[in-house]
Chains A and B, each alone.
Chain A
Amino acid sequence: MRGSLDPLRSPLARGVVAIGVAALSLAPHSGIAHADEPAAPAVSDTGIDKALATPADEPAAPAVSEPSPPAAPAKPPATEHEGRFSFGSYGRVLAATDAEGRPARDTDIVVHGSRLDLDSYVELELRREDRWPALEAESEVTATLAVGSPLFHWDGEFDARVAVRNLYFEERGLGVRGLDAWVGTRYLRGDNFYLLDFWPLDDVNTLGGGVRYTAPTRTRADVHLGFGRPDNPFYRDLADRPAPLGQFGTATIELLDRQRMIGSARLEQTVLFGAGPGGLKLVGYGEGHRVPTGEREATSGALEAVPQETGFVVGAEIGAFSGERDGFLNLFARYASGIAAYGAFASPEGLGLDRSTAGAHELLLAVVGNYELGAFALQAGGYVRSFRNASVGLDFGDVDEGIVIARPQLWLADFAGLAVEGSYQLAQRGVLADLDPEAEASGAVGSSAPVPLAAHVGKLSLMPFLSPAGRGSFKRPLLWLAYTATFRDDGARMLYPIGDQHRARSIDHFFGLAAEWWFGGTSYGGD
């Protein structure tokens, strides 16, 4: 593990303070499967101190909570300004097929399912890091470029889906030791659920800024304020108007143009068991959301008022870590209300009678852990989630879902082993299935009454793998082969339209070849 000049700012003390990448499109009301957004494992946020002090090819930090012994603040070296550029990356590539030679598809019916079938994705991160010894301060400019599937050698299209996932400046320790500030666009994420590519508690993506204070008492406080303006009609409505001053043609005006303002606050306290290395981590978290009122143009051409939106998130995490071999167990609880219950970039659907999101809510409970002993490791966890949109009654946008997942691994050598991943998913949508399958087959009218649509999916995967970084659930890079059998009941099949392969099949087979890495980035694996 790399050293750190300030252990309380290190990922080890913080546990899994991930600044990852995924789940942007996995809005509560979104579809049943993973969106094709990128994903990434948990990591820590950072300090240039670590980056400067450690070699780049050292193994990545685990996505878990670990202790770090307290250390005395180091005096700034009496040297001149030091600066460097560094490069980091998180990435994964996947080549896969089903039993019929088609591209293998995501088979999950919950919003956050197994990550084994995630599409290829890479982040390329460039940082400029400077240290100002006289001021005992450090600064950093981070730019993270992300590229998603499909890739050129697969579809032959000479283009790419590219996004700037991070672009921010951070100043640490300027004026007050332990006080950091940043401004820019970035994802703010806490501890993750690696197997599901999921951040259960805090996962905010905005353009804004924030401050953080880290106290020697292993206490850390973060506050942030940022904005987002998704490009959809909920936030933005353009209209054509006659060009001004008697000119020909039209001028486009932004009739509705409103931002979603998100403020977040996070308080974390780490408590060691005696002298460590094990301990507890307690996190309290909250968000406030506001979208101002506005007006847009109805089909008739008349202007109609768009109501203000508000929402909040409250949540907590309790984590225990062993301090050895990435052992940890984290429990999460999160409740979101109003606009905050919908995905940050979504156009909320299922509005209430006042045409707002008031009344929408989401409750999430999750547990995740990792245990390693000798040549054996076990990652496991699960979550349950209940989402109700703002509209009265139940509809397809209302969801209750849950998953349990476990991945035991056995190293047969220091660099190779075999993993098995099993998961069970249950999802219920707020709709009734009206058709009687037997009647449907015969062409007659069914006699049965409609029933609630409850869907069940079981998945079992075998994963022989190579791990040049050695033993450990979070050692990367990792190269693996995977076979996954997905078992789908009638309810799960009904989630797909008639004619879809998943509607027709109760069992799917997946054969994949994949690799995953992280190094030197703020996203996964620390610096």
Chain B
Amino acid sequence: MGLTFALARTAATALALGSAVGCMDFGGLDEKVELGTNVADWRDQVIYQVLVDRFEDGDLGNDFNVDRSAQARWHGGDWAGLESRLDYIAGLGVTALWISPAYRNVETDADVDGYHGYWPQDFTAPNPHFGDVMALRSLVRAAHERGIAVVLDVVTNHIGQLFYYDINLNGHADDQVRGGGENSPVLHINEHDPDFDPRGVQAETSLGEAGPAPVMWKRDPLTNHMPPRPAVLERPEMYNRRGRTLDFEDPDQLLHGDFPGGLKDLDTTRCEVKEAMVDAYARWVELTDLDGFRIDTVKHVEREFWRYFTQKVRQRLAEQGKKNFFMFGESFDGRAELVGAYTKSELPSDEQLARENACVTDGRGITGDQLDSVFHFPQYYTAIRDVFQLGLSTDRIEVLWNERDKYYGLTAPELGTGIPPLSALVNFIDNHDVPRFLYSASPAALHLALLFVMTEEGVPCVYYGTEQRLSGGNDPANREDMWLTGFDTEAPTYQYLARLGALRKRHAALRKGTQRVTWASSRSGDEPDAGVFAFERTGGDAGDSYALVVVNSNAAHESSPAYEGAPMKVGAAPGTVLVDVLAASGASYTVGPGGEVAITLEPLTGALLVPESQR
């Protein structure tokens, strides 16, 4: 720019244009974000999961294409709205917030909107429906001021449906290129989401196959079907390009297939992809001081990626002062051996390790460390569904728990949270991917299940609206508008959860105590102990803090932890008076000389017993 322009600019600025120009208040944008360690021990936390689009609309200025009449459309929630409700959340005893992905998504696809956040288009830009970077930073700061950590949902497995496979080489996306139904449940094979082909999706003409189908980027700004960002992801070789996963039991399809819905699978073994994901997501932390990642679709990504991603994120953030950064993954599967595999510290073969280290540019070689934790999906099926919703026998919980040592990581990752993954599993009763608990169970069962996850070993995670007894079925019916509840802090389940949170905070045993099953029953009929499950927690990092949890998941009759003359025996010293801190009556039970405790519970009730001296 010429001298004239520079002089004019200087003069004009001096002429007090600034009296009205340049006084926008971006809320501390100029302040450097100091990364800090905001969580001392993740076992102390209670996570609250929020779908940002559904929680609260705090800024109508970003309500683009909002249609609240349909559950699969944008509804207008945003970060400003969520921030305005932090006191409500804090009142629950929540200490960590898990929020929807922050990046920009595909706006809408096949008449379903990207309100959930799992259709990434630009990993570097904020979702304009939710606000700008300052709105997110403000949310995180306000949460921290209330002692609430913030966990960001992230996706590394795929992008949105941003390209199509030009199977018939005609240069546009065809909704049907051939019939289906033989090996596929999809009746109409289209170019957006064609069936899996281990060779890669093939082009074909009337004369037969014609080689790999070209990748064709869509370019529709209105729906944000635009090439991805960062721009390195525009290169076709960054994707596996094998089509839609049909068989999730086939490892090739599981790892390399597109996620159903045309979500294109990134080749997460490539160095460029690994680096892009670390850069993109570490930058969100650096911009806002986030405290953790909830990682989507973990089982669809190679272990080598998790080793690289988690280690490089930890190293980069630790250098800036952020430690105890919690990364837990979603492996939507009931098999503990699969789910737990992402938490184990295991080195691959030398050959594989050498290949992985080829991506390392900072000289810090890859180790066996992976995630800090995972969602306890096996328990969701075994305990929450089978026991608390279906009323099956409780011994299956004991079996599940007894096998955990085999399947989950027993050592804390270097620069991680300092907690072995086994002790920090994220326990939940429902989330945005499964029907709400109340969809098929009673409020009494809900309270019982909440008692269970809030007191067992691990980190409890509560899905928004549980406290208001929302009861939607499968996605998207389970993603209700929270504002319709009125944010009633007098609601019975809100009060119950708040009480559980307070008790968990008060009694270290419920957070850090070693866990031991004291009663489980193989019976689920008329037997006197049918439906009873009990465990005690003490020792470990909890010292002499002690708690005994007893639940009766039987909906038909009262039950006791005793059978055929054999009572439940606990580790508390004989003569200890245990008080039920959940019961309004404050009922107490004295530990017998042999450690036995006799207690009878009404159907679908529980007790939380602590020594009277620790009450």
In the complex, which range does the number of interface residues on chain A fall in? 35 or more
The verdict on A445 contacting B280 (CB below 8 Å), with A394-B26, A400-B20, A434-B125 known, is yes
The verdict on A444 contacting B8 (CB below 8 Å), with A363-B20, A384-B19, A450-B132 known, is no
* Further 20 A-B residue pairs, CB within 8 A, beyond A353-B59, A424-B9: A353-B60, A384-B17, A384-B21, A391-B59, A393-B61, A394-B26, A394-B134, A395-B61, A400-B20, A401-B21, A424-B11, A426-B22, A430-B24, A432-B29, A434-B124, A443-B234, A445-B283, A447-B279, A450-B132, A458-B4
List chain A positions with a Cβ less than 8 A from chain B.
298-302, 349-353, 355, 363, 365, 382, 384-386, 389, 391-395, 397-398, 400-402, 404, 422, 424, 426-428, 430-432, 434-435, 439-440, 442-447, 449-452, 454, 456, 458, 460, 487, 489, 506
Chain B: residues with Cβ within 8 Å of the partner, total of 52
Q: Which A residues lie within 8 Å of B234 (CB)?
A: 443
Contacting pair A404 B17 (CB below 8 A): yes
Contacting pair B126 A434 (CB below 8 A): yes
Q: Which B residues lie within 8 Å of A350 (CB)?
A: 60-61
CA distance A422 to B133 in the complex (A): 37
Residue of A nearest to B104 (CB): A434
Residue of A nearest to B134 (CB): A432
CA distance A181 to B603 in the complex (A): 85
CA distance A353 to B68 in the complex (A): 16
Contacting pair A440 B58 (CB below 8 A): no
CA distance A188 to B560 in the complex (A): 87
| CB neighbors of A among B1-50 (8 A) | 1-2, 4-5, 8-9, 11-13, 15-17, 19-26, 29, 33
List chain B positions with a Cβ less than 8 A from chain A.
1-2, 4-5, 8-9, 11-13, 15-17, 19-26, 29, 33, 57-62, 67-70, 80, 123-126, 131-135, 230-232, 234, 276, 279-280, 283, 286-287
The verdict on A422 contacting B8 (CB below 8 Å), with A298-B69, A443-B231, A445-B123 known, is yes
Contacting pair B135 A393 (CB below 8 A): yes
B546 → A minimal CB distance (Å): 49
CA distance A442 to B231 in the complex (A): 8
Contacting pair A447 B283 (CB below 8 A): yes
Q: Which A residues lie within 8 Å of B134 (CB)?
A: 393-394, 432
A139 → B minimal CB distance (Å): 44
For B13, B21, B131, B287, the residue with the greatest tally of chain A CB atoms inside 10 Å of its CB is B21
A299, A398, A445: the one within 8 Å of B69 (CB):
A299
Q: Which B residues lie within 8 Å of A355 (CB)?
A: 60
Contacting pair B60 A391 (CB below 8 A): yes
The verdict on A506 contacting B21 (CB below 8 Å), with A424-B8, A445-B283 known, is no
A352, A363, A384, A452: the one within 8 Å of B24 (CB):
A452
The verdict on A424 contacting B2 (CB below 8 Å), with A391-B61, A432-B132 known, is no
B271 → A minimal CB distance (Å): 12
Q: Which B residues lie within 8 Å of A349 (CB)?
A: 61
Q: Which B residues lie within 8 Å of A351 (CB)?
A: 60-61
CA distance A442 to B276 in the complex (A): 12
A477 → B minimal CB distance (Å): 31
The 3 tightest CB contacts between A and B, nearest first, are: A391-B61, A300-B69, A443-B231
Residue of A nearest to B8 (CB): A424
B592 → A minimal CB distance (Å): 60
Q: Which A residues lie within 8 Å of B231 (CB)?
A: 440, 442-444
Contacting pair A426 B61 (CB below 8 A): no
B4, B80, B132, B232: the one within 8 Å of A431 (CB):
B132
Residue of B nearest to A388 (CB): B24
Residue of B nearest to A460 (CB): B4
B455 → A minimal CB distance (Å): 39
Q: Which A residues lie within 8 Å of B9 (CB)?
A: 424, 456, 458
B26, B59, B69, B286: the one within 8 Å of A392 (CB):
B59
Contacting pair B20 A365 (CB below 8 A): yes
Contacting pair B61 A400 (CB below 8 A): no
CA distance A458 to B33 in the complex (A): 34
Q: Which A residues lie within 8 Å of B123 (CB)?
A: 445
